[in-house]
Amino acid sequence: MKLAVITDSSVYIPEHFADRDNLFILDIEVSIENTAYIEGKNLTLAAFYQKMAASKELPKTSQPSLAALDTLLTQLEEEHYTHAVGLFLSGGISGFHQNIQYLIEEHHKLQLAFPDTKITSSPMGWMVMEVLKWAKEDLPFEQILSQLQILIDKTNAFIMVDDLNHLVKGGRLSNGSALLGTLLNIKPILYFNDGKIEVFEKVRTEKKAIKRLIAALDEVTADGSYMTYIIHANVKDKAEYLKGLLEEHGYTDNLMVVPFNSIIATHLGEGAIAVGAVPKI
C-alpha cells in the first residue's frame, strides 16, 4: 500500500513533521480588504493580526480549491499511490467536505476516504500525524480508517472568544443565542458539537470560564489517554497561564501550546483561546 494524506491549511502540524513526501496540504486563502493572502507564502501570522486590526471589515476565508484537489488526486494516481485519506476542516463550518465526495468515484485507481473530521487546527493535525504513522507501520487501510474514526468520534474542543462578531458575521456560529454574550457581559464557552460551533455554556467572568473549561476537559478525557492542546489567537501569555493551571490540575504529559493560524483566527478573532483533546491510540 502506498498511502497519501491530504489536508488543508487550517491544520496545525509541527514544522518538523510537515515535511513528508506523502503529506499534501491544500491552501486556503484569507482575504483582507479584497487582497488574497496565503499564510506562509505572502503572509506571516504577525502580519495577519496587524492587517486584521487595521481593516475596516473582517477578513474572509475561502474554501480549498476543488480543482486543486482533483489535480492532486490525478497526480497521486500517476505516482502510483494506491490509497489516500483526505482530512479537511469540519463539514459543520465548511461545505468543502460535502462538495468533494463525488471525487471518490472519479478517481477509481485510488482507494479514497474523505471522513468528516468534525474539527480543525491542532486536533485535526494530530489525526493527520497518526494516519501517517499508521501508514508507516503498514497497518491495513481498513484498520487505519477504523482507528481514525475513533479519533474523530472522541475528539472535543472548547473555545472562549473575546469578540463574537467574527463567528456571527462569518456564519460559523450555529445558534444565535450566543449574541446574548455581548449584551449581558457573559463570557460564553463554545464547543464543537457534531462538527458545528455552538454555545456550550454561558459564564459570567473569564476566571469562572477558565475554571469551567478545565472541568469540561476533565469530563471528556476521563476515559483514557489524550493529547491535549491549548490553542490561542495571539494571546500566548494567557495560553501559558492556562497551561500552568492544567499542569497543576494533573495535565503534565501530552500537553502543548500552539497558535491558531490565520484561517481559524479570522473566524474566532484575536484573543480567542481553546482547549482540544484527541485520544491516543
What pLDDT, on a 0 to 100 scale, did the predictor assign at position 204?
A: 82
- Report d(CA 124, CA 151) in Å as an integer: 9
Residues 183 and 193 in one domain: yes
Cell of 30: 484569507
Q: Which residues contact 150 (CB under 8 A, 6 or more apart)?
A: 279, 281
pLDDT digits (tens, 9 = 90+) for 206-253: 889 899 999 999 999 999 999 999 999 999 999 999 999 999 999 989
Do residue 12 and residue 128 come from a single domain?
Answer: yes
% of the chain surpassing 90 pLDDT:
74
Output the pLDDT for position 12. 94
**Does residue 206 sit in the same domain as residue 166?**
yes
Domain assignment present for residue 56? The answer is: no
Closest by alpha carbon to 117, among 133, 139, 134, 96? 96
Looking at the structure, tell me whether residues 141 and 215 fall in a common domain. Answer: no
Does a structural domain hold residue 219? yes
Considering the domain architecture, whether residues 149 and 113 belong to the same structural domain is answered as yes
Q: What is the pLDDT of residues 184-208, one digit of tens each?
A: 567 788 899 999 888 888 888 888 9
Q: Are 178 and 188 in contact, with CB atoms under 8 Å apart? A: yes
CATH number for the domain including 225? 3.30.1180.10
Is 34 part of any domain? no
52: in domain? no
Domain span holding position 181: 156-279
In-domain check, residue 144:
yes
- Out of 105, 125, 154, a domain closes at 154
Q: What is the pLDDT of residue 198?
A: 86
Question: Do 205 and 187 fall into the same domain?
Answer: yes
Q: Given 110, 128, 154, which residue is the final one in a domain?
A: 154
Q: What is the DSSP string of 174-207?
A: S-GGGGHHHHTT-EEEEEEETTEEEEEEEESSHH
